A and B are shown apart, each in its own frame.
Chain A
Amino acid sequence: MIEQKKKIIFVLPLILIVSLVIIYFISRNKTLPTSISLPNPKVVPSPTLTLPIPSPTPALDLTNIEGDLKNIQKDLNVVKNEDRRLIPPSFLLDLGI
Chain B
Amino acid sequence: MKIKVLVVFFLLLFLSSSGTKRVYAQQSSNRSYQSFVESYRRYQQYIEPFKTAKSQYLSFQSLESQVKLLDAARKMISSEVEAMLNFASFIRIRLVEATSVLNYNENFLFVKLDDEISFLSDAKEKIDGTTSLDELKNLTAELQSHYQTISQFSYEIKLVIETGSAQKIFDNLKVEKEKFQEYLQNEGLNEFNMKAAQNMLISFQKETAEANESLTKAKALLKKSGAESDKEGWQLITIVFNKLSLILDGYKGIVTSLK
Contacts and interface: CB of A to CB of B under 8 A. Distances in A.
Interface of A: 55, 58, 61-62, 64-66, 68-69, 72-73, 75-76, 78-80, 82-83, 85-89, 91-97
Contact of A75 (B147, B169, B255): B169
B183 A94 contact: no
Interface string B120-148: 00000000000001001100100110010
A75 B143 CA distance: 36
Nearest to A89: B40
Q: Which 7 A-B pairs have the closest CB atoms?
A: A88-B151, A86-B158, A93-B144, A79-B165, A88-B154, A58-B186, A61-B183
Given A58-B183, A62-B259, A68-B176, A87 B158 contact: yes
A91 B83 contact: yes
Nearest to B146: A93
Interface in B221-259: 241, 244-245, 248, 251-252, 255, 258-259
A96 B183 contact: no
13 contacts: A58-B189, A61-B186, A65-B255, A69-B176, A75-B172, A79-B165, A82-B161, A86-B155, A87-B158, A88-B155, A91-B143, A95-B137, A95-B140
Contact of A62 (B143, B144, B158, B255): B255
Contacts of A83: 158, 162
Contacts of A66: 252, 255
Nearest to B91: A86
Interface string B60-78: 0000000001000100100
Given A55-B187, A76-B244, A82-B162, A93 B87 contact: no
Contacts of A62: 183, 255, 258-259
B47 A92 contact: yes
Contacts of B245: 76
